[in-house]
Structures are given as structure tokens and as C-alpha cells.
Amino acid sequence: MIDLDKLRAVIAYDPDTGHLTWTRNAPAKVAGRQAGCLTNCGYRYVQVNKVGYYAHRLAFILMTGREPPEMVDHINLNRDDNRWSNLRLCSGSENQQNIQKARLSNKSSGVLGVYWSKTKKKWRSQIRIDGRIRHLGYFDSIDESHIAYVNAKREHHKFGVL
């Protein structure tokens, strides 16, 4: 674990903006600037004492004084929005509930939770609940199938945003 006193000495966190800023104790060339840079995935990444951390995890440490026990989720799905009100603890499966786009492997519909059934010649809707896939039915249109998925997501995925 990172030493909390050393972290607070070099980085300040503003919970209202979500910005991590280098303090006067940081090297002169960075003091006063926003800490970190954006990764290809959109997360802010900060190096402290040659060790890399995601900004949302540092925000949690700075606010609570401890490392997060599991994952820290961005409620609004913006990976660079590290405001304290936008962060919440979650498990891995809860974090997966925030997926908003179909996986690239779902080329049949491009819609989350909707797949073409070659055997039935209909659109199939499904959702994962507690690690198991639950079949929601077969539908004549993508829209009907997607509505079934959205309704199930609202009922079962409390961490999901739709």
C-alpha cells in the first residue's frame, strides 16, 4: 500500500472537481498542475514515486485513508470523472453491469443483450444475472428484443445505468 502521508504530501484531491493536483512538495516542474495523464482507455493514470496508480483509486485512498477493497466504479461511465460523488465501491460483477455497448463479438445485432438466432430465425434476448445467462425470449424485431433486455437490466442490474 502507498504511504498515505507521502501521498498527501505530493498530491491534493478536490472531491468536487475530481482533480488530483501536484502540491508544492512535488517536483517544481509539476507543482500546481493536474496530476497524471489519460490512458488509451480513458482512465487518468498517475505515477507517484515511480509506481503507477489509477486516479479513481488514489481519490478513494485520499478520501478514506485506505485502499479500496475491490473495484471503484464511475457511476456516469466517464472514466476521467473522478469526482467523489461519481465514485462508488463495487464488486467485479457489479462493475460489469455498467456495460453500455455490445461487445465487438456481437456482430449479429450490435445491440447489448440481443442476438440473432439462426435456428429460430428470430432475435434472442438474454442477460447475465449472478454469473448465469438468463434467456429472455425470442422476438420478431431487434427493438422488441432490446426492450426486453432493458427491462430485465433495470430490474436486476442495480449498478447499471440505462
Give bridge partners of residue 134 from the DSSP assignment: 127
Q: Which pLDDT score is estimated for 105?
A: 58
Whether 161 is covered by a domain: the verdict is no
Whether 34 is covered by a domain: the verdict is yes
Structural domain containing residue 37: 4-90
Tell me: do 73 and 124 sit in the same domain.
no
Nearest to 139 by CA among 160, 161, 113: 113
Tell me: do 83 and 110 sit in the same domain.
no
Tell me: do 34 and 105 sit in the same domain.
no
Nearest to 26 by CA among 56, 47, 57, 43: 47
Q: Which pLDDT score is estimated for 131?
A: 81
Tell me: do 86 and 11 sit in the same domain.
yes
Q: Which pLDDT score is estimated for 154?
A: 81
Alpha-helix runs per DSSP H in the chain: 4-10, 55-64, 92-96, 142-156
Q: Which pLDDT score is estimated for 59?
A: 98
In the chain, which stretches have pLDDT less than 70?
97-107, 160-162
- Spatial CB neighbours of 58, under 8 Å, sequence gap ≥ 6: 7, 11, 13, 20, 46, 48
Q: Which pLDDT score is estimated for 10?
A: 95
Amino acid at position 139, single letter = F
Which of 66, 90, 114 is the last residue in one of the domains?
Answer: 90
Tell me: do 81 and 121 sit in the same domain.
no
For residue 127, what is its C-alpha cell? 442477460
What is the rounded CA–CA span in Å between residue 62 and residue 72?
A: 13
Domain of 130, CATH number, reads: 3.30.730
Q: Which pLDDT score is estimated for 103?
A: 59
Domain of 75, CATH number, reads: 3.90.75.20
Q: Which pLDDT score is estimated for 104?
A: 56
